Amino acid sequence: MYFSYGETETEYLKRRDPRLGEIIGKIGHVDRETDTDLFSSVVHHIIGQQISTKAQATIWARMQAQLGEVNAEGISAAGIDTLQAFGMTFRKAEYIKDFAEKVKTGEFALQEISRLPDNEAIQALASLKGIGVWTAEMILLFCLQRPDIFSFDDLAIQRGLRMVYHHRKIDRKLFEKYRRRFSPYCSVASLYLWAVAGGAIPGMKDYAPEKNRRK
């Protein structure tokens, strides 16, 4: 399943920002895979922190092969040693086990997340061990498919903004200007900024001073 959007979102963004409109026209529709289950999405995102996509996929495949469906009951029964054996760190195994236990006992009301507004959902997810604001924002975008997520902490989005709008630096004030411009479809704008940052349009460059670039 991919993040769902269409002409309503893209035409709005084109009207609001002709430069982004040019980018949308050049790239076309962006297919970004999404998660369908909130519990497994949280686990998947914890696994993927600070490792490559390939390493994340390997660990995830091992977990699915042994546990089948990734749910609170299976994680709780597996224990930290088993989780580590899939290839993750002890700390990540602790985070995942803690999350599973909280869901299993009802201490963390996972199903309530989908009913909360964005800021409250982010705050609730970020209260979990191993989940920061950026990870919570990505869960809202790629699992719950919230339409208006725009993460200041995402370095690739900042890079995309520099490349599209020729900025040397993206500070919070400038970032919020773009958030207001793209809202209520910031998530779709994010898809295109990620694509630009990833090299979807040959010849575009990052205008940040080279010594200040972080990848």
Q: Are residues 120 and 199 in the same domain?
A: no
**Average of pLDDT values for 132-156?**
97
Q: Are residues 106 and 131 in the same domain?
A: yes
What percentage of the chain has pLDDT greater than the value 70?
98
**Is pLDDT at 180 greater than 70 in this prediction?**
yes
**Average of pLDDT values for 118-143?**
97
Question: Residue 66: which H helix or E strand, with range?
Answer: helix 53-67
CATH number assigned to the domain comprising residue 95: 1.10.340.30
CATH number assigned to the domain comprising residue 167: 1.10.1670.40
**Is pLDDT at 65 greater than 60 in this prediction?**
yes
Q: Are residues 72 and 47 in the same domain?
A: yes
Q: Are residues 179 and 164 in the same domain?
A: yes
Q: Are residues 177 and 93 in the same domain?
A: no
Are 149 and 182 in contact, with CB atoms under 8 Å apart? no
Q: Are residues 74 and 42 in the same domain?
A: yes
* 211 band by pLDDT with thresholds 50, 70 and 90: confident
Q: Are residues 64 and 103 in the same domain?
A: yes
pLDDT at 214: 56
What percentage of the chain has pLDDT greater than the value 90?
96
Mean pLDDT of the chain: 96
Q: Could you list the residue range(s) of the whole structural domain that residue 50 is in?
A: 38-142
* 212 band by pLDDT with thresholds 50, 70 and 90: low
Q: Quickly count: other Cβ atoms within 10 Å of residue 69's Cβ.
A: 10
Q: Are residues 166 and 183 in the same domain?
A: yes
Length of the chain: 215
User: What DSSP string runs through 108-152?
Assistant: S-GGGGGGS-HHHHHHHHHTSTT--HHHHHHHHHHTS--TT---T
| Structural domain contains residue 1 | no
| Structural domain contains residue 2 | no
Q: Are residues 53 and 129 in the same domain?
A: yes
Q: How many domains does the chain have?
A: 2
